[in-house]
A and B are shown apart, each in its own frame.
Chain A
Amino acid sequence: MKAQTREERLEEEKEKEETITTKLLSHYLIWSVVVSIAIIAFGTIEYLSTGSTGYINLPVLVLIKTNGSVPGVFPHYLPSIIIGTIHLKSFAIIQLGILVLLLTPLGRIFLQIFIFMKEKDRAFVTVATTVFLILLLSLYLSRFFT
Chain B
Amino acid sequence: MYDSSLIYILLILVASIFAGIIGSLAGLGGGVLIVPFLTLYFRIPISLAIGASIVSVIATSSGSASAYVKDKISNIRVGTFLVLFTTTGAILGAFLEHIVPAKIIYITFGIVLLISIIPMIRKLGSEVPEAVKNSPFAEKMSLNSTYHDTILKRDIKYNVTGMKSGSAIMFIAGIISGLLGIGSGVFKVIAMDIAMKLPIKVSTTTSNFMIGVTAAASAGIYFFGGDVNPFIAAPVAIGALVGAMTGTKILMKIRSSTVRKIFAVIILVVAIEMLLNGVGLRV
Contacts and interface: CB of A to CB of B under 8 A. Distances in A.
Interface of A: 22-23, 25-27, 29-30, 32-33, 36-37, 40-41, 43-44, 47-48, 51, 53, 57, 59-60, 63-69, 74, 76-77, 91, 94-95, 97-99, 101-106, 108-109, 112, 123-124, 127-128, 130-131, 134-135, 137-139, 141-143, 145-146
A124 B83 CA distance: 12
B70 interface: yes
A144 to B, nearest CB: 9
State the majority secondary structure of interface residues on A: helix
A44 B42 contact: no
Interface in B211-263: 212-213, 215-221, 223-235, 237-238, 241
B81 A141 contact: no
B86 to A, nearest CB: 10
A48 B70 contact: no
Contact of B48 (A25, A64, A137): A64
A102 B220 contact: yes
B236 to A, nearest CB: 10
A37 B237 contact: yes
Contacts of A68: 225-227, 229
Given A76-B226, A98-B228, A124-B77, A51 B221 contact: no
Nearest to A92: B230
16 contacts: A27-B66, A29-B69, A33-B241, A36-B59, A37-B238, A40-B238, A47-B5, A64-B44, A67-B229, A68-B226, A102-B216, A108-B62, A134-B91, A139-B224, A142-B224, A146-B226
Nearest to B44: A64
B198 interface: no
Contacts of A94: 230, 233-234
A40 B16 CA distance: 15
Contacts of A108: 62, 212-213
Contacts of B4: 59-60
* Smallest CB-CB A-B distances: 10 pairs: A68-B226, A142-B224, A145-B225, A51-B2, A105-B216, A29-B66, A94-B230, A30-B66, A105-B213, A139-B220
B217 A135 contact: yes
Contacts of B84: 127, 130-131, 134
Contacts of A40: 234, 237-238
Contacts of A65: 43-45, 48
Contact of A64 (B42, B213, B223): B42
A138 B221 contact: yes
A102 B69 contact: no
Interface string B28-45: 000000000000001111
Contact of A63 (B83, B212, B225, B231): B231
B55 interface: yes
A135 B174 CA distance: 13
Contacts of A102: 55, 58, 216, 219-220, 223
**Which of B59, B216, B228 lies at the interface centre, i.e. has the most chain A CB atoms within 10 A of its CB?**
B216
A53 B84 CA distance: 38
A67 B224 contact: no
B76 A142 contact: no
A33 B238 contact: no
Given A68-B226, A127-B81, 4 more contacts: A98-B55, A98-B237, A142-B224, A145-B224
Contacts of A124: 77, 80-81, 141
Contact of A22 (B1, B70, B218, B226): B70
A146 B220 CA distance: 12
A97 B238 CA distance: 11
Contacts of A44: 9, 234-235, 238
Contacts of A57: 1
Contacts of A64: 8, 42-44, 48, 229, 231-232
